[in-house]
A and B are shown apart, each in its own frame.
Chain A
Amino acid sequence: MKTRNDCREWRELLGAYALGHLEGDEKIGLEAHLEGCDQCRGELASLQPVAQMLPHADPARFGPAPQPPPDLGQRIAATIAGEDRRLQQRRRRRLFGGFALGASTAAAVAAVLLLFVFGGSEQSPQQKVEFADLPAGITIDATLEPHSYGTEIHMYVHGVPSGTLCRVWLRGANGASYPAGTFRYRWGDDSDAVLSSALDLSRTRALVVDTGKRTFVAPVDRSAAALQTANKEEPT
């Protein structure tokens, strides 16, 4: 062992040395070699941090790594798609807020895009509702989404006094009203109110919003709702 003059042979002892496993002549011989060999000293310096990390690990965990469930990627994609949809709605409102007529074109384009992009079976198709007779300065924006329990309603109101209590209903084909709940409008709050009603979207003919002083009614497009129901029933 003492006769090792080949650098490589000394180098191959550096692992055991870094782990504190070398003893006796081998240890003394290697240390003497290290005194005079820059290369081996450099090599030792690169192994020492690794040796210092070893005690942190648990050798029982060196087996196969745990894998995420196979559907996690799909779930994340669906979450992001949902958030993206809400973000785009909000962006459109900021661009077109207060110009209800101008917004309708953009909304129509966006609705087509949404149907195209989210047309898959996992995403419920949304239906945009237009309030045609709003006074100047008031914006009401709503989208309806069919669910098995009924209809989800995303409402956005702007321009009424802050603190206004808004009550919402869906009106069915037979003229009966189905309550969808209440929300309060606050200045500076740009978020949607999310409400729901037990009335099926395919049977909804109008969305009604009561702001206390006035009541606004928007027709719900029967053909679009019927089409969505047909799509929903198709086998996937």
Chain B
Amino acid sequence: MPGRMIQLGNSTRGALSRERDVREAYAAHSGELYGFAARSLGDAGLAEEAVQETFVRAWRAGDRFDPKIGSLRTWLFAILRNVVIDLGRARAVRPAVAEGGIEPSVEPLDEALTAWQVEEAMRRIGDEHRRVLVETYYRGRPYAEVAEELGVPEGTVKSRVYYGLRALRVVLEEMGYED
């Protein structure tokens, strides 16, 4: 559909005001945004709604996005966060749907964001690193047992835990995490 590539809107509008910019932003960030929306809302349909609303709001407010202040990704996540809060509130007043849903307050959403960040980072680090972190930390298994199962010295398991945490840190920073 070549017509779609034509620049739309007034040229005085900002970085995300053109349809093409939205398409590029969607291609770059929709996966992550959807992942977080699905994680925090716990519902695929609502997650779609949230991602759609995020890009529409971003497009409407396109002239307010300033790349000097923060990345497009950070800005989109900030919008999504508000959308998720709105959807959570909307769902809270519809009890039939709200069962087992999220609380519409901010605190659980921040927890959901942290959880999603770690889970996403875990997906991006190497298999060996993830494996030792899952076995030793999440399953609480002794290092010696894990070492035996993997056929490596116990010291190697310890060093993999160290390099795994470091890799997580690097990936989290890439995802915008700051201390």
Q: How far is the CB of A40 from chain B (nearest CB, A)?
A: 11
Map CB proximity to A onto B93-130 as digits: 1 under 8 Å, 0 otherwise.
Answer: 00000000000000000010011011110110000001
> Counting CB contacts under 8 A, is A190 at the interface?
no
How many angstroms between the C-alpha atoms of A12 and B153 in the bound complex?
14
**Hey, which chain B residues are within 8 Å of A59, CB to CB?**
122, 134, 138-139
**Hey, which chain A residues are within 8 Å of B166, CB to CB?**
15, 47
How many angstroms between the C-alpha atoms of A118 and B9 in the bound complex?
13
Residue of chain A at shortest CB distance from B27: A73
> Counting CB contacts under 8 A, is B46 at the interface?
no
Q: How far is the CB of B164 from chain A (nearest CB, A)?
A: 7
Known: A62-B123, A117-B6, A120-B1. A72 touches B39 (CB 8 A): no
How many angstroms between the C-alpha atoms of A11 and B161 in the bound complex?
11
Give how many B residues have a beta carbon under 8 Å from the other chain's beta carbons: 58
How many angstroms between the C-alpha atoms of A68 and B39 in the bound complex?
12
Are A62 and B119 touching (Cβ within 8 A)?
Answer: yes
**Hey, which chain B residues are within 8 Å of A62, CB to CB?**
119, 122-123, 130, 134
**Hey, which chain A residues are within 8 Å of B51, CB to CB?**
68, 72, 76
Give how many A residues have a beta carbon under 8 Å from the other chain's beta carbons: 47
Are B169 and A56 touching (Cβ within 8 A)?
Answer: no
> Counting CB contacts under 8 A, is A46 at the interface?
yes
How many angstroms between the C-alpha atoms of A51 and B138 in the bound complex?
12
Q: How far is the CB of A226 from chain B (nearest CB, A)?
A: 22
Are B4 and A120 touching (Cβ within 8 A)?
Answer: yes
Q: Which residues of A contact B (CB under 8 A)?
A: 11-16, 18-19, 21, 46-47, 49-51, 53-54, 56-59, 61-69, 72-73, 75-77, 79-81, 83-84, 87-88, 91, 116-120
